[in-house]
Amino acid sequence: MGATQEGRKSPTYGADDRVLDGNVLAGSLGEVFGVEITSAHVACAGCGRRQAVAELVVYASAMGSVARCRGCGHVMLRVAQVRSEVVLDLQGCSSLRVAGEG
């Protein structure tokens, strides 16, 4: 089981319901990595906070998604679907840890 940081608080990003979370990235990232990625842990390049991909604050649009750190709001990950390609920008992640099988 992964773990979130203790005593975490959700930043308020307004009542905009287009703000989702990283669970919504499961399908598109699954196609890229071929493994379940929402339970992988990423560390924020801005503040260092370690969190599951599922916990990121995601702004989804028809063009793609932007995922921000739940702690500091730093952009950690961008995903766009461009015709048949999925384009991924991971600049805001200082590490990505994926559990191996077994």
Partner 1 sequence: MARVTWQPAYLVSRKEETADAVTLVLGVPGWPGHLPGQHADVRLTADDGYSTQRSYSLATPDHGAEVALTVQVVEDGEVSPFLARELAIGDPVELRGPVGGWFVWHPRSTRPVLLVAGGSGVVPLMAMVRARHESGGGAPMLLAYSVRTPDDVIYADELARRAELDDGLTLVLVHTRRAPNGSVRPVGRVNRSELVGWASELGPNLDVFVCGPTGFVDAVSDALVDGGVDGRSIRTERFGPSGG
Q: Which is nearer to partner 1, 35 or 72 (CB)?
A: 35
| Chain-centroid distance, C-alpha 61 | 15
**Which of 35, 47, 56, 53 lies closest to 99, judged by CA?**
35
C-alpha 62/C-alpha 44 separation (Å) is 25
Closest approach of partner 1 to the CB of residue 28, in Å: 9
Residues that bind partner 1 (CB under 8 A): 2-10, 12, 15-24, 26-27, 30-31, 34-36, 38-39, 52-55, 60-61, 101
Q: Which is nearer to partner 1, 65 or 92 (CB)?
A: 65
